[in-house]
Structures are given as structure tokens and as C-alpha cells.
Structure 1
Amino acid sequence: MEKRSSADGATVLIVGAGPAGLVLGNLLLAAGVDCLIVERQSRAHVEQRARAGFLAAETVRVLVDNGLGTGLRARGRQHGTCVFRTERGEFALQYDGLGRGEAHTVYPQQELVTDLVAEFLARGGDLRFDTPVSETGGLDGLDGERPWLVAHRADGTPYRLTGRYVAGCDGRHGVCRRQLPAGAVRSHRRRHGVSWLALLVETPPALPAVTYAVHDRGFAGHMARTPSVTRYYLQCEPGTDPDAWTDAAVWDELDLRMRAERFGPLRRGPVLERAVVDLESDVLDPMQYGRLFLAGDAAGLISPSAAKGANLAVMAAETLARAFAAALHQGDEEPLARYSATCLPRIWRAQEFSHWMIGLLHAPAGDDEESRFLRALRDSRLESLRTSTVQQHSFADNYVGV
């Protein structure tokens, strides 16, 4: 059972029980800082929500060093190779032997979230599921000493929670971002004009490594999740209805774009989930306003082309936890004042690499002059990555680094 306090608030009010909010909450409890998490969804929902599963070395360090890595150390799998397939053939990069020599740990986000919830509750944390914040007027007092929010119990009854700080970890479409005063932050946004059909299939990984396939019909990708579940991506037209793709059509297209006839068959199985993901990016600058501090997707969205979202969320949570502890224990507010300046260079580096990956994997299919030019650029990038040691070391540093 989730702990429910009769108190009307906490020193730090955290909105959202995703990786950012849960890591932040656990680190604050470990630092002796009173906090409370409210989450609009049920516990079952957040613990079953399938998301990315590639954790960078620095992310693993944060989790393990703070007693949050038991599950990933027991069940996570090291992954240090990725493969690119093109019309010219296939080449593999063993990136854990390049750059800083770092690998990913494959650990599904829903399992990480389940671990973080259990640990937060075991540490005595106050975590309130099925508790949305009011869409209108639900967050106020941000430029004063005691900000507050209006939450709703399961029966719809509103009540007020007061704190000294608010951490907005409730995603891009969450209340915290939407209730920022007009002009408080600047949004840098790009729509990449690319959409993916994201598929979760009940079948063991067909390939030993993450595989990126470039094809005239569009990109296709293979990413392991668990020994029995695999993530696939298919580039599709923006606005595509995911339900228009039958299982048979999905597998036929995956076979074609991943060149199964040439490199070996895929393992077919039922499609458990399908959704269309529009590749978009945005960054808020600054990531704070008054007593409100944003982390994770609430502060900025990154396209899934390089698996950076959850990793950036964990790193921001660590930075913010340290800043809160410094302000509350030493009276030093400078780390909080510099929170955005500390996080944004890391975020922009990840955005730049994600943007580069989009150009590496996608190009228009038309026969017009510009489409042919962009396809030639894409092919040149792939050839440079295949042949240039310097390019490979740079790729490894950015692929695993945050």
C-alpha cells in the first residue's frame, strides 16, 4: 500500500512518478529532505508503462551509488555493439571498445520504475497515486516563499499541498509546464518531419545487437528489451493510424527493410503494442521559474533516435537533489540558482547527437533534386561512420554519454 500522510505538504513537492520524480524523491529522502510525490496515474499504470530501456553508464552510476540499482544489477544486460544495415551491406560498431569504453545496460523502464517505487516506499516516502493536480489554478505561489498545488483525491475531492519548492517531473504535457506564466521561459522546438511506428512484440530478440536498417522505403530498427520481448520501429507517414497496420503487414515490412532475405529471418510473434511516434524535440530555457524546477520531459523533449530521454531525466534529478540539499542543509541557494545553467549544456549536447542520428537514419524517398541530395548525404555519413576511426570514437562518446 502507498503511504498517505495527513500532513498538508512537504518541503519539496514532486509532481510525477516517472524516472525523474522517483530518482529525485529517493535521493532527497537519502539526504534527509522531506518530500512528497503526487502522480495522476495508478501504480499499476506507471509500473507497466513500456518505455525506453537503454541506460547509459553515468545513469547506472547514479542508481547504483545511491542504492537504487539492485534490480538492474541483477537483471540488466550489458550491451556494447550496434549494427547498421544498408543496401551496401552490414557493419557493426563495438562501441564499448571505443571512446571512453562505456556500454549501455538494457533494463526496461517499467522495471526500473517498479524498483524506484518500491524503494521510495520502503524508505518511508509519501507517494500518492491517482492524485492529479488541478488543470486550472492547480499550481501557484511560485514566486513566493511557500508555493502550493491543488491535488485531487480518488473521489475527486480537491485539497491543497504546500511546500518550499516544487519539482515538475510530470512530462511534456503535464500541469507544471503548462502553468508556467507567459514569457517565463523560452521554448526551442523542432519538428523533424519523421514519424515511427513503435512496436512492442512478444518474441525474443532476433538479433544480438541493436540494429539500424536504412532502406529506400524508410528506416527500421530492432532493439532488445527482455529475453521474451523486443522493440521494433518502422518509419511511417506522419498521421498514420497505427491500427491500420496488421501484424502480417508489420512483419512483412520489417523483413523487407531489415533485408531478412539477405541477413536472416526475424522471429515473428504477436504485436503487443503499436503507436505512432512523431520525432520532435524541444528545450525550455531556463528550466526553472521561482520555486518551480523542471526535470525530465517537463523540461525538454528529445527524439527517441538515440535513447537519451530517461538518461537525461536521471542526471537532472541528481543535479536537482544536490541543489535542494545544499539550500536546505547549508543555506546555499547558488546550486539551485544555477540548476538550468548546469543541466542545459548536457541537454543540448544530447539534442545535437539525436539530431545527427536522425540525419544518419532518414532521408526523403522522392526523386526530386533535394531528396536525392539528402539521400547522398545520409549515405556519406554512414560510410564515414563505417570507415573513420575518429568518427567511430566520437560516435561512441556521444552514443553512451549524456
Structure 2
Amino acid sequence: MTQRQNTPAPRNTADVVILGAGPAGLLLANLLHRNGVDCAVLERATRAHVQTRARAGFLAATTVRTLERHGLADGLHRRGHRHGTCEFRTDDGRFRLDYATLGRRDQHTVYPQQDLVTDLLTHYLDAGGRIHFETEALAVPDPHSTRPTVTVRDADGRPDHWQARYVAGCDGRHGAARRSLPPGTVRHHRDHGVSWLGLLAQAPPSLDAVGYALHPHGFAGHMARTPHVTRYYLQYERGTPADTWTEDRIWHELDTRMRTDDHGPLHHGPIAHRTVVDLESDVVQPLRHGSLLLAGDAASLISPSAAKGANLAVLEAELLAHALTDTLAHGDRGALDRYSAQALTHIWRAQDFSLWMIRLLHAEPGQPHGESFFHESLRRSRLASLRTSRTHQDWFAENYVGV
């Protein structure tokens, strides 16, 4: 393993080249750098874009503890806030679950992902870490090589390459790591047939809870982000561009589905950002392919229905950091295979709960009347059990907050 020295490492080599500067890539970089592992991060976007791209904002208790354990939680302790309640609104009325008092009594910390990314990036650069923005990884041509090469396009658009002992693919489902997987790699994929219009509104939260509204028009969701910004979701017809609906129509649908006539008005404000999210899940198995390791969305895509994506990314990054350190520092040849098995155990559990939430929140798309009635009856039964059964509530709380 190459130890950090006063003289800089050659520009285009590193023991570990990390693709992607999201939560997984940046946490991995921080942990490896602290452990004396020579690493470099390659990110195709600009630094400004990385620090402002809006993503999820609900951090699980295990994620917070991980960041605390490594001295990376200062920002979220200053600016994040705890959250432990969700509210369901249906034709049968509404009910609340104070999940912070149920199950393991854990709660979320609301902290926008772009703020977490900024924190991780600042820590990494302040410690002397290497990152190259506007450097797009194109491929890892031979991931089973003992010295794999990453072909890139640099900030000036010129071809270049990096050489490593290991490549950590944290660059998402469409990145170079996924594209470089060898033929025959097992990829489990499921399209849930549901789309959301994701919205960031410049308006204060209207509930002191995460709101889940089940309505004949489709699902609507309310998630606080900051005292002045709220995340909303609207179930949306597949294939419809994000800019099709006017702001007036968006707020009308939110008011209707959230049943504001019965439960109080929403705070309206300008829509600052909108995007269409097709609810899909997929998992690559295994997560190790020779010298190429996957983490974050490159390892598994999970629907946003249960806010697991960023939390899985943090968990996987810590596991991968331990495995790479054990491999490079201690010659533990089985560490990277154990990483794959351990991470997949958590991934499949999160996928299971995410699917449960999808089925709870949405009508079954494209089903004949009889089957649709069957599914709707099951949804009502699940909600009734969640409203009344302490055992069911404890199960929900443990899975809702945990990864």
C-alpha cells in the first residue's frame, strides 16, 4: 500500500481510483485517505454542480452514527434536525405514527444531500485528498487486471487514463463502472410501473410529519427539507415530460390529493425544481468483479419510496473502505469478497421494504378490475393493521429508519 508522504503521488496513478463524487464516493475517499491509502476521485461534473444537485434528505440513525464515528457529522449537527413522525391520509381519514417511539426508537435526521456532499468534500480536500472535477470516466477496459486502467476524458475534452490497483465504481447506474461489467454479470431489475413528479417548492413545510396521501388521483407525498423548502411528490403518468403541468395544476393536485379541505391548507410557493422519477429497482450481484468494486447506485438502484438510497450508499462506502484497507494494508485476500456478501444482505433487505412501501402507496398499474379490487382491498387491510397493531407499527418503524 502506498502511504501518504510529503512528495505528491504521480498525477495519474493511485492505489484506489474512485469514480463519482456522491455520498458513496466521497465517504469512501475520506475513510481511505485517513487510513493512509493513496486514492483519487474522478468526477465528471463541476464542483459547483456536485455541491448543488438536489437529492434525498432523510438520513437514517445508522448513517448519522457512521458519520459521527468518523468525525464527519459536524455540518448535520449544526444544520440538520431530527424527525420521527409520518402521517397517512386516505379515504378513511388520517393517522400518525410516531416512529421514533416505536421499534428500535430510532429517527431520521433531515439534512439535504447536497449539504452532506459539501461537508464530505470539504473534509476530504482539507485533509489533502485528490479529486479531479470535469473528468469523465469512460470505461474500465479490463476490470480483472491486477493493475486496471480507467480511460477518461479530461476537463479539456482530451483522452487520458488513470492506473490503479482497485477501481471503486460509485458513479451511478449509467456510469463507467456499470458499463465495464464483464459479460454474464447478473443484474436483477424490476420496473414498478409507477412514476413520480418530484418537486422542490420554495415554501415552508405544511406538516410536522412526512405526509403520505393515498388518493384516487394517485399518490402524493410531503417531505420537509429546510424551514423554507419542501419536497413534494406526485404520482405522474409515465412518459409525461416534467414541465407539462403548470404550477397552478401542480398545487391543485397537491391540495386535492393531500385532502386540504379536510386537513388544512398547504403553504404554496414557487416550484424551484422538478424532475420525473420512474420507480425502478435493480441490483448487481456480486459487487466485486476482479479489481472493480461497486457501491452506491452503481451497486443497486432503489426506489425513493422509503428514502434508502443515500443511506445504503453510506453503509456500503464504510464496508468497502474497511475491505480495501484490510486488503491493501494487511493482505487479507478475502476482504473484498466479504464486502460484496455483506453489502448485498443490507441491499436486499432495503429492497424488500421499498417494494412493500410501493405496494402500500400506489394502486396496481394496468390491472383488470377484479385484480385491482383485490389489490386495493389488501392496501386497505395493510393500512388498517398499521393504524391499530403495535406489532405491525414496531416492524414498520424498524424497517423505515433502518438499513
What TM-score do the two structures reach when normalised by structure 1? 0.96
Query: Are the counterparts in 1 of residues 319 and 339 from structure 2 also a CA contact under 8 Å?
Result: yes
Residue 310 of structure 2 is matched in structure 1 by: 310
SS of 2:320's equivalent in the other structure is helix
For residues 126 and 362 of structure 1, the distance between their equivalents in structure 2, rounded to whole angstroms, comes to: 44
1:73-112 counterparts in 2 under 5 A?
73-112=77-116
For residues 357 and 231 of structure 2, the distance between their equivalents in structure 1, rounded to whole angstroms, comes to: 18
Q: CA deviation at 1:364?
A: 4.1
For residues 389 and 160 of structure 1, the distance between their equivalents in structure 2, rounded to whole angstroms, comes to: 57
The answer to whether 1:28 aligns with 2:29 is no
Residue 206 of structure 1 is matched in structure 2 by: 206
For residues 364 and 281 of structure 1, the distance between their equivalents in structure 2, rounded to whole angstroms, comes to: 16
For residues 129 and 281 of structure 2, the distance between their equivalents in structure 1, rounded to whole angstroms, comes to: 33
Deviation digits for residues 289-338 of structure 1, max 9, x if unmatched?
00000000001100000000000000000000000111111111221121
Residue 263 of structure 1 is matched in structure 2 by: 263
1:115-134 counterparts in 2 under 5 A?
115-134=119-138
The answer to whether 1:385 aligns with 2:389 is no
Could you tell me which runs of 5 or more consecutive residues in structure 1 were left unpaired when the two chains were aligned.
none
Query: Are the counterparts in 1 of residues 173 and 297 from structure 2 also a CA contact under 8 Å?
Result: yes
Alpha carbons of structure 1 residues 263 and 367: separation in structure 2 relative to 1, 3 Å: farther
Deviation digits for residues 164-192 of structure 1, max 9, x if unmatched?
10000000110110111111x20111100
SS of 2:398's equivalent in the other structure is helix
Query: Are the counterparts in 2 of residues 143 and 290 from structure 1 also a CA contact under 8 Å?
Result: yes
1:219-234 counterparts in 2 under 5 A?
219-234=219-234
Deviation digits for residues 3-32 of structure 1, max 9, x if unmatched?
x97522110000000000000000001111
SS of 1:333's equivalent in the other structure is coil
For residues 248 and 240 of structure 2, the distance between their equivalents in structure 1, rounded to whole angstroms, comes to: 17
Amino acid at match of 2:144: D
Query: Structure 1 runs of 4+ off > 3 angstroms?
Result: 364-367
Residue 253 of structure 2 is matched in structure 1 by: 253
Amino acid at match of 1:129: F
The answer to whether 1:49 aligns with 2:56 is no
Residue 273 of structure 2 is matched in structure 1 by: 273
For residues 265 and 141 of structure 1, the distance between their equivalents in structure 2, rounded to whole angstroms, comes to: 57
SS of 2:192's equivalent in the other structure is strand
Q: CA deviation at 1:339?
A: 1.5
Deviation digits for residues 337-366 of structure 1, max 9, x if unmatched?
211111111100000000000111111487
Residue 3 of structure 2 is matched in structure 1 by: none
For residues 355 and 253 of structure 1, the distance between their equivalents in structure 2, rounded to whole angstroms, comes to: 25
Query: Are the counterparts in 2 of residues 53 and 106 from structure 1 also a CA contact under 8 Å?
Result: yes
Deviation digits for residues 263-299 of structure 1, max 9, x if unmatched?
0000000001111111000011101100000000001
For residues 101 and 333 of structure 1, the distance between their equivalents in structure 2, rounded to whole angstroms, comes to: 38
Q: CA deviation at 1:140?
A: 2.6
For residues 219 and 15 of structure 2, the distance between their equivalents in structure 1, rounded to whole angstroms, comes to: 47
Amino acid at match of 2:247: D
For residues 399 and 124 of structure 1, the distance between their equivalents in structure 2, rounded to whole angstroms, comes to: 37
SS of 1:67's equivalent in the other structure is coil
Q: CA deviation at 1:111?
A: 0.4
Deviation digits for residues 240-283 of structure 1, max 9, x if unmatched?
12211100000001000000010000000000111111100001
The answer to whether 1:375 aligns with 2:376 is yes
Residue in structure 2 matching 1:60, options 51, 64, 82: 64
For residues 102 and 330 of structure 2, the distance between their equivalents in structure 1, rounded to whole angstroms, comes to: 41
Amino acid at match of 2:238: P
SS of 1:381's equivalent in the other structure is helix
Query: Are the counterparts in 1 of residues 201 and 270 from structure 2 also a CA contact under 8 Å?
Result: yes
Residue 168 of structure 1 is matched in structure 2 by: 169
Q: CA deviation at 1:150?
A: 1.6
For residues 88 and 153 of structure 2, the distance between their equivalents in structure 1, rounded to whole angstroms, comes to: 49
Query: Are the counterparts in 2 of residues 5 and 126 from structure 1 also a CA contact under 8 Å?
Result: no
1:130-169 counterparts in 2 under 5 A?
130-134=134-138, 138-169=139-170
SS of 1:377's equivalent in the other structure is helix
For residues 374 and 386 of structure 1, the distance between their equivalents in structure 2, rounded to whole angstroms, comes to: 18
Deviation digits for residues 140-181 of structure 1, max 9, x if unmatched?
332121111122221112222111100000001101101111
Deviates more, 1:154-163 or 1:253-262: 154-163
1:290-329 counterparts in 2 under 5 A?
290-329=290-329
For residues 13 and 399 of structure 2, the distance between their equivalents in structure 1, rounded to whole angstroms, comes to: 40
Query: Are the counterparts in 1 of residues 288 and 336 from structure 2 also a CA contact under 8 Å?
Result: no
Could you tell me which runs of 5 or more consecutive residues in structure 2 were left unpaired when the two chains were aligned.
1-7
* C-alpha RMSD of the superposition: 1.2
